[in-house]
C-alpha cells in the first residue's frame, strides 16, 4: 500500500518535471527569438544590413518553431507578432502585412493586436500602399489613443518621404500642436525644419531649428542645427547674425568645417568682404559637393574679374572634386563658355583648326543656349550672327535657332512665327527653310537634298562609344551588342551628320507588341516599338508624350515637334540609342553587408524624349532582376536622367517616367515593389554637356539603399 502511494507520487513528480521542462523549452526558444530581434534592430540602426538580416531570420525561425511545436502555448500570439515585426524590419512588407492579419484573425483579444495593427499600417506605408495605409492608421488613432501619436507622426513623415514636402510640413506642425510631449517630438522638429528650409520658408525653418537645437541631446546634431540657423539668417539677409552663428560652430567638428567655411564665404560676400570670402572658400578642400561649390565660386569671382586663366583653373578643380554635383556640372558649362570665348577671340578651335567668324559667334550662342540655359543672351548672339554674316549658312541656322528658343524654351510660338517666315523668305533653298515650313504647316517643295560642310563644334558627330565591358551578373552570360553606331544612309540636315529620315517606319520598325526577352506580360506601349527612331525631347511646359511622332504626324496648320538642338533642323544620329556597352552601376554589398558578393546593375539608355525600354536592354534588366533575386537583402533606388534640352520641369517628369518604367519592368520580372524606390534627377546630372554626347545623359542608373 505504502509502496503504491510512493509510485503514484513519483509518477506525479515526473509528470510535473516533464511539463515544467516543456514550458521552459518553449519559453527559452521564444526568449532567444526576442533576443535575436533586438540584436537585429541594433545592427540595422548601425547600417550593418547583412548581420541584421541574419538576426531577423533567426527570430522568424525560432518564432515559427514555437508556433509549430507548441500551438496552444501562451507564447503563440507573441511569436506571430515577432514574425511580422521581423519581416517589417527586413523590408518584406507584404509578408509583414500577412503576419499581422493572421494575428488579428487568430487572436483578436491579444494584447499584441493594437501594435500589430499599427505595424500593419507602417508596412503598408513602406510598401507605398498609401491609401490603405492611411485608412489603417486612422483606425489605429481612433481605437488605440496610446498609439495615436506614432500613427499620426508616421503618416506625416510619409508625406516627406514621398516628396510631398508642403503637405508633410503642415502635417508635422499639426502633430506637434496635438502631441507636444510625444517621444517623436524631436525627430518631428528636425523633419519640419528641413522641410521648411527646402520650401524656402526660412523664417519658419529658423524657428524650428532653434527648437530642435534646444531639445536634442546630441552636441553634433546641435552644431548642425546651428549651421542651418545661420543659413536661414543668410537667406533672410541677416548676414552679420549669420557670421556670428557660423563662427561659433567653426572648429568644433572637423567634418563640419567645410560646410561652415562655405557658408561663411557666402555671408562675407554678401557684406562686401570678398577677399575674406575667398580665404574662407579656399579652406574647403574636400572632394565633395561642398568642395566643388567652393571652387566654383572662386572661379566665378575670377571670371567676373576677367582673370580667365585663374577662373579656368578653379572651374577645373570644381569639376575634378565632384563632376556629378550641381556645381561640378556648372563648372563644366562655364569651362565650355570660356573655350567658346577663347575660340572667338583667337579664331581657332581647341584642336587648332581655324574658325570662321560667324561660326565662332554661333558657337558662343550655342553654349549660352544648350549649356548655360541663358536664352536671352543666346538669342541676342544668334541675331548678331544673322545680322553680321547674312550671306553665310550660319545666318539661316542662327535665325532658326532663335525661333527654336522662342517656341520651345519660352513657349511663345506667336513670337517664333515671324522668324520662321523670315528664314523662308531670306533662305528659301535651305533645310532650315524647309523645317520652318513644316513648323508652320506649309507645303515643303520636293527637291534633292544636299549635304553641307557646315559643322560647328557643338553639333559634331559623336565620338565612338566606349569599349564594351562584360556584364558581371552572377550565373549569366555577358550581354553584348554588335552593331556600332554609324551615319545614316539618308540625306542629312546641315551640321547634323546621320540625321534620321523623316519616314519613321524605316529600318528597325517592328509591329511586334512584346519586347524581345521581356518578362511575361511586358508590353510595349503603342507607338513606342523597340528599334524605331524616337521623337525628340518634348517642348517646355508639356507633359511627356505618350509615343513618338514625326513632323508629318501633326495636323495641317499645327507646328511640329521641335528638334532637340536649335542648331539643327532634324534629328541627329544621337537621337537614338548608340550601340555601346552600358556602364555598370555597382552596388558593392561587401561594403554594405560584409559579404564578398558584388551586385552590378547596368545603366539603361534611352532614345530621345522616350521612356521606352529598348529591346536590347530587356535582357540586361532581366539579368539585373536575377541578380537582385539572388540578393534579397538589397534594396535599390532607380534614378532617371535626361539630357539638358527642353525645360527643367519637362525633363524632371521625363526622368521620373524613365525610372518608373524600369521599376515596372523589374517588378514584372519578379522583384518585390517594396525593394525598389524611384526618383528623377531630370537634367541635373548630365554625363556630358557637349551636344554630340547628349545620348550619354539619357539614362537610368541604380543606387543602393
216-219 own/partner pairs: CB under 8 Å, 24+ apart: 216/186
Q: Is the pLDDT of residue 14 over 70?
A: no
Q: Is the pLDDT of residue 649 over 60?
A: yes
Q: Is the pLDDT of residue 540 over 50?
A: no
> CB of 103 within 8 A of CB of 54?
no
Name the burial class of residue 278, with classes exposed (0-12), middle (13-18) and buried (19+) by CB atoms within 10 angstroms of its CB: middle
Half-sphere exposure of 328 (CA within 13 A, CB side): 18
Q: What is the DSSP letter of 513?
A: S
Residue with cell 508596412: 123
**C-alpha grid cell, residue 135:** 485608412
**What pLDDT does residue 499 have?**
30
Q: Is the pLDDT of residue 187 over 90?
A: yes
pTM of the model: 0.54
Instruction: State phi, psi for 218 to the nearest 5 degrees.
Output: -90, 115
* Residue length of the chain: 705
pLDDT level of residue 309 (50, 70, 90 thresholds): confident
Residue with cell 489605429: 140
**What pLDDT does residue 328 have?**
86
E strand or H helix that includes residue 401: helix 393-404
**C-alpha grid cell, residue 673:** 515593389
**C-alpha grid cell, residue 243:** 557670421
- Looking at every residue in the chain, the average pLDDT score rounds to 75
According to DSSP, the residues that pair with 493 across neighbouring strands are 496
Q: Is the pLDDT of residue 514 over 80?
A: no
> CB of 337 within 8 A of CB of 367?
yes
| Spatial distance between the Cα atoms of 130 and 93, rounded to a whole number of angstroms | 13
| Spatial distance between the Cα atoms of 212 and 203, rounded to a whole number of angstroms | 15
**What pLDDT does residue 462 have?**
38
What lies within 8 Å, CB to CB, of 143 at 6+ separation is 114, 117
**What pLDDT does residue 144 have?**
93
Q: What is the DSSP letter of 594?
A: S
Question: 603: left (phi > 0), else alpha (psi -120 to 50), else beta?
Answer: beta
Q: What is the DSSP letter of 496?
A: B
| Spatial distance between the Cα atoms of 213 and 207, rounded to a whole number of angstroms | 10
DSSP code string of 179-202: -TT-TTHHHHHHHHHHHHHHTT-H
Within 347-391, residue ranges assigned H as helices are 357-366, 375-388
**What pLDDT does residue 575 have?**
40
Quick count: other Cβ atoms within 10 Å of Cβ 507? 10
| Spatial distance between the Cα atoms of 495 and 456, rounded to a whole number of angstroms | 7
Give me the architecture of the 460-705 domain, per CATH: 2-Layer Sandwich (3.30)
Lowest mean pLDDT among 50-54, 202-206, 252-256, 352-356: 352-356
Output the CATH code of domain 30-268: 1.25.40.10
Secondary structure string (H, E, C) spanning 36-57 = HHHHHHHHHHCCCHHHHHHHHH
**pLDDT tens-digit profile of 282-299?**
999 888 899 999 999 999
Instruction: State phi, psi for 305 to the nearest 5 degrees.
Output: -90, 5
> Of 225 and 506, which is predicted with more confidence?
225
| Spatial distance between the Cα atoms of 128 and 40, rounded to a whole number of angstroms | 24
What CATH topology corresponds to 357-447? 1.25.40
Share of the chain above pLDDT 70, in %: 72
388-393 own/partner pairs: CB under 8 Å, 24+ apart: 388/357, 388/358, 388/361, 389/357, 389/358, 389/361, 390/426, 392/356, 392/358, 393/430, 393/452, 393/454, 393/494
Amino acid at each position: 500500500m505504502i509502496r503504491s502511494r510512493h509510485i503514484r507520487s513519483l509518477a506525479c513528480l515526473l509528470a510535473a518535471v516533464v511539463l515544467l521542462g516543456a514550458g521552459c523549452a518553449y519559453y527559452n526558444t521564444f526568449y532567444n527569438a526576442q533576443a535575436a530581434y533586438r540584436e537585429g534592430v541594433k545592427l540595422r540602426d548601425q547600417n550593418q544590413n547583412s548581420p541584421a538580416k541574419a538576426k531577423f531570420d533567426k527570430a522568424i525561425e525560432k518564432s515559427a518553431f514555437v508556433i509549430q511545436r507548441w500551438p496552444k502555448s501562451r507564447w503563440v500570439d507573441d511569436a506571430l507578432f515577432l514574425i511580422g515585426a521581423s519581416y517589417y524590419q527586413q523590408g518584406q512588407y507584404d509578408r509583414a502585412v500577412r503576419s499581422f492579419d493572421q494575428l488579428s484573425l487568430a487572436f483578436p483579444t491579444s494584447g499584441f493586436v493594437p501594435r500589430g495593427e499599427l505595424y500593419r499600417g507602417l508596412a503598408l506605408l513602406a510598401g507605398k500602399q498609401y491609401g490603405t495605409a492611411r485608412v489603417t492608421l486612422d483606425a489605429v488613432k481612433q481605437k488605440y489613443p496610446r498609439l495615436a501619436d506614432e500613427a499620426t507622426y508616421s503618416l506625416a513623415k510619409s508625406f516627406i518621404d514621398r516628396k510631398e514636402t508642403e503637405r508633410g510640413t503642415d502635417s508635422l506642425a499639426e502633430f506637434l500642436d496635438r502631441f507636444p510631449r510625444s517621444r517623436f517630438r524631436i525627430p518631428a522638429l528636425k523633419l519640419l525644419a528641413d522641410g521648411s528650409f527646402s520650401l524656402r520658408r526660412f523664417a519658419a525653418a529658423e524657428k524650428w531649428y532653434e527648437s530642435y537645437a534646444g531639445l536634442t541631446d546630441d552636441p553634433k546634431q546641435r552644431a548642425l542645427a546651428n549651421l542651418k540657423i545661420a543659413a536661414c539668417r543668410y537667406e533672410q539677409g541677416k548676414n552679420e547674425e549669420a557670421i556670428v552663428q557660423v563662427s561659433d560652430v567653426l572648429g568644433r567638428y572637423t567634418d563640419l568645417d567645410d560646410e561652415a567655411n562655405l557658408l561663411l564665404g557666402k555671408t562675407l560676400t554678401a557684406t562686401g568682404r570678398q577677399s575674406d570670402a575667398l580665404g574662407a572658400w579656399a579652406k574647403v578642400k574636400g572632394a565633395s559637393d561642398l568642395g566643388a561649390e567652393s571652387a566654383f565660386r572662386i572661379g566665378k569671382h575670377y571670371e567676373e574679374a576677367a582673370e580667365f586663366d585663374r577662373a579656368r583653373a578653379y572651374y577645373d578643380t570644381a569639376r575634378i572634386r565632384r563632376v556629378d554635383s550641381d556645381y561640378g556640372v556648372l563648372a563644366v558649362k562655364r569651362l565650355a563658355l570660356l573655350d567658346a570665348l577663347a575660340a572667338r577671340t583667337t579664331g581657332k578651335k581647341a584642336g587648332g583648326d581655324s574658325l570662321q567668324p560667324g561660326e565662332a559667334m554661333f558657337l558662343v550662342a550655342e553654349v549660352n543656349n544648350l549649356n548655360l540655359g541663358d536664352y536671352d543672351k543666346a538669342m541676342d548672339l544668334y541675331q548678331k550672327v544673322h545680322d553680321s554674316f547674312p550671306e553665310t549658312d550660319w545666318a539661316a541656322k542662327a535665325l532658326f535657332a532663335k525661333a527654336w528658343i522662342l517656341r520651345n524654351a519660352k513657349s511663345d510660338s506667336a513670337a517664333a512665327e515671324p522668324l520662321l517666315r523670315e528664314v523662308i523668305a531670306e533662305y528659301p533653298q535651305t533645310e532650315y527653310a524647309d523645317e520652318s515650313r513644316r513648323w508652320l504647316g506649309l507645303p515643303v517643295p520636293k527637291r534633292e537634298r544636299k549635304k553641307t560642310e557646315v559643322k560647328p563644334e557643338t553639333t559634331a558627330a559623336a565620338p565612338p562609344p566606349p569599349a564594351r565591358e562584360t556584364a558581371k551578373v552572377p550565373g549569366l552570360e555577358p550581354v553584348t551588342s554588335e552593331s556600332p553606331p554609324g551615319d545614316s544612309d539618308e540625306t542629312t540636315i546641315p551640321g547634323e551628320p546621320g540625321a534620321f529620315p523623316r519616314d519613321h517606319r524605316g529600318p528597325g520598325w517592328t509591329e511586334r507588341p512584346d519586347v524581345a526577352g521581356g518578362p511575361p506580360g511586358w508590353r510595349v506601349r503603342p507607338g513606342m516599338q523597340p528599334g524605331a527612331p524616337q521623337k525628340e525631347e518634348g517642348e517646355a511646359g508639356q507633359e511627356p508624350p505618350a509615343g513618338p511622332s514625326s513632323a508629318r504626324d501633326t495636323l495641317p496648320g499645327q507646328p511640329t515637334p521641335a528638334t532637340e538642338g536649335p542648331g539643327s533642323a532634324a534629328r541627329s544620329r544621337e537621337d537614338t540609342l548608340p550601340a555601346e556597352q552600358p556602364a555598370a552601376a555597382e552596388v558593392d554589398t561587401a561594403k554594405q553587408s560584409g559579404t564578398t558578393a558584388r551586385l552590378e546593375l547596368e545603366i539603361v539608355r534611352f532614345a530621345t524624349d522616350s521612356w521606352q525600354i529598348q529591346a536590347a536592354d530587356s535582357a540586361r534588366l532581366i539579368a539585373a532582376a536575377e541578380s537582385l533575386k539572388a540578393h534579397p537583402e538589397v534594396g535599390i533606388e532607380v534614378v532617371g536622367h535626361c539630357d539638358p534640352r527642353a525645360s527643367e520641369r519637362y525633363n524632371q517628369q521625363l526622368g521620373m517616367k524613365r525610372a518608373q518604367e524600369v521599376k515596372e519592368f523589374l517588378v514584372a520580372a519578379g522583384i518585390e515593389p517594396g525593394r525598389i524606390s524611384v526618383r528623377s534627377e531630370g537634367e541635373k546630372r548630365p554625363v556630358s554637356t557637349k551636344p554630340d554626347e547628349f545620348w550619354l545623359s539619357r539614362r537610368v542608373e541604380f543606387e543602393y539603399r
